[in-house]
Amino acid sequence: MAEADLDGVIRSIAKKQQKILMDAAKKRHGRLMGLAAKAKTKEIKARYKQTARTTLLLAGAAARRLQVTAENAADSYARAMKKAAEENKAAEEKPAKKAAAPKPVKKPKN
């Protein structure tokens, strides 16, 4: 097939974006946990740890939404292409209807 399988491309791009998002979230989580380890008071340490947990939680939710959106778009594209292929096949199978011959115009009697 000469054309790219675009629904597959949509899914692979989403996987890459999801991986990038989760990697960035893990880096931020690690940095926040490092700051929590260096914190001088319990309150500050607890705040950093809570922020780190929330970061992973929200990033996971965003990644899931991204994946669901990409799957919906890919499925929609695949359905549209399937429907278009079926319509083309149906159009090729039906012979073109001949245009009806115009009716002769009656001349009024004078």
Domain ranges of the chain: 6-83
Cα Rg of the chain (Å, integer): 30
pLDDT reported for residue 92: 81
Q: Determine the Cα angle at 24 with ends 39 and 14, to 5°.
A: 155
Instruction: Give the count of alpha carbons within 13 A of 79, CB side only.
Output: 6
- If you average pLDDT over every residue of the chain, what do you get? 87
Q: How confident is the model at residue 12 (pLDDT cuts 50, 70, 90)?
A: very high
Read off the pTM. Answer: 0.70
Residue with tokens 């947990």, as numbered in its chain:
53
Q: Average pLDDT in the 17-32 region?
A: 96
Q: Are 27 and 59 in contact (CB under 8 A)?
A: no
Tokens of residue 60, six digits: 């996971």
